[in-house]
Structure 1
Amino acid sequence: MKIQFLTAGILLMSVFAMSSCSKDDDEPTRPTPVVTLQSKVVANVDADAGKKDLFTFYSLADGKVVPNSDSASTKWDIAFKATTIIVNGGSSGPGKGEAQVITGVYNNLVAAPETGYKSDAAATKAIAGWYSYNMTTHIITPVAGAIIVLKTASGKYAKLEVSSYYKDAPATPDLNSPGRFYSFRYVYQADGSRNFK
């Protein structure tokens, strides 16, 4: 009887020892890399399509629309109303937001410029010259090569390119195309550097 208990005990300890040792124990744990560079494509951000004279606030860090009730906070980075785009800084908000529009190829812009940024003022906004207006067709078209480079509310860098001002981004919008719906792509650098690669 004692031999049976002893044998059963040894067998049980062997099973326990084998189950506690696995292949994972032999491999060193690797830290999860921190992702600081975020790329996003956004469609149909309502820029006051209902003409209520309200901005739509957007957080580049979080990749989402921020409630209007947070307009006086640093929870948003950029906001849209019709063709006006503001940043969270200067006269538009309490953040560190500044911006400039540069001309170039979006994918080739691998670092934000060091200088040239402006904050919003009461009479002028930092983001201007991103679109053209056709007096004949009354269509608003993003300027080819116009890249918005900005410092966010927290002072981080981002680049943004508007691809359409119309709902569902039609290839050839007309007067029947619902306007005030922004489609854009952006890259947000969370580590505080100016690098976009």
Structure 2
Amino acid sequence: MNPTPRIFLMLLGATLVFHTALSYMETNIEDFETVPLPPKKIKKISTNNPIIKIDAKDRDSWTLVNFSSGKTRQVSEDEINNLNQSDWDLGFSRTKIISNGGKTNPSGNTGVINLGLSNFDDVKTAPDSGYIQDHRSLGNLVNKSLAGWYNYRTRTHNI
């Protein structure tokens, strides 16, 4: 007896089961993806420190922050090589953060240190050493102290 029809029917059955499961998963994921996340409850925090609002939504520009003056300034991606011409401390563009020192601006002397999980108001003095400046890694500006500051969910693309 020729086994070809039996193999064909087994493959056809497996294909039907696979496509049925895939179809169910696809509609299930669609339902999951279109359901908006519930709004996060934001706890009101009071502080004696000044608050600076930073708009870093644009992927083609950087928002530079000067902490001593409390001012922000937008610069385009084309101006990123002329950062030594202005006074700034940190720069933000979406999830990327740069500091005014190291490879970003060799004449700048801003470094960053990760103090871990700590209450901002409890930090009274800055550490004397351990600051890290920006460096290049695979063509991107990176600062080890600032890397990994967010969690990214690949399923929902939420940060």
Aligned to 2:103: 91
Candidates 60, 64, 72, aligned match of 1:57:
64
CA distance in structure 1 between the partners assigned to 2:74 and 2:98 by the alignment: 16
- 1:101/1:129 contact within 8 Å kept: no
User: Using a 3 Å threshold, how does the CA distance of structure 1 residues 76 and 89 change in structure 2: closer, same or farther?
Assistant: same
The one of 130, 137, 141 equivalent to 2:156 is 137
Q: 1:15 maps to what in 2? A: none
* Deviation, structure 1 residue 102: 1.9
Residue in structure 1 matched with residue 6 of structure 2 by the alignment: none
For 1:125, the equivalent position in structure 2 comes to 143
Aligned to 1:35: none
Aligned partner letter, 2:83: S
Is the CA contact (8 Å cut-off) linking 1:89 and 1:96 kept in structure 2?
A: yes
User: Which residue does the alignment assign to 1:80?
Assistant: 92
Count of residue pairs brought into register by the alignment = 100
Q: Is the 8 A contact 1:99 1:118 kept in 2?
A: yes
CA distance in 2, matches of 1:51, 1:129: 18
Residue number in structure 1 paired with 2:125? 111
Question: Structure 2: which amino acid aligns with 1:138?
Answer: H
Residue 136 and residue 67 in structure 1: after superposition, are their counterparts in 2 closer, same or farther (change >3 A)?
A: closer
User: Which residue of structure 1 lines up, in the alignment, with residue 37 of structure 2?
Assistant: none
Structure 1 residue runs of 5 or longer lacking an equivalent are 1-37, 141-197
Secondary structure in 2 matching 1:71: helix
- Mapped partners of 1:117, 1:135: distance in 2: 32
Q: What letter is aligned with 1:77?
A: D
Counterparts of 2:55 and 2:143, CA distance in 1: 20
TM-score normalized by the length of structure 2: 0.55
Q: CA deviation at 1:64?
A: 0.7
| Length-normalised TM-score, structure 1 | 0.45
Superposed CA RMSD in Å reads 2.2
Task: Map 1:157-176; keep pairs closer than 5 Å.
Answer: none
| Identity value in percent | 28
Q: Distance in 1 between matches of 2:119 and 2:67?
A: 21
Larger proportion of strand: 1
After superposition, the C-alpha distances for 1:165-188 in whole angstroms (9 at most, x for unaligned) are: xxxxxxxxxxxxxxxxxxxxxxxx
Name the amino acid aligned to 1:98.
G
Instruction: Give the structure, 1 or 2, with the largest relative contact order (CA under 8 Å, sep 6 or more).
Output: 1
C-alpha distance in structure 1 between counterparts of 2:126 and 2:86, whole Å: 21
Higher helix share: 2
Structure 1 Cα separation of the partners of residues 150 and 121 of structure 2: 19
User: Is the Cα–Cα contact under 8 Å of residues 101 and 128 in structure 1 kept in the other structure?
Assistant: no
What's the secondary structure of 1:42's corresponding residue? coil
CA contact (8 A) 2:58 2:94 kept: no
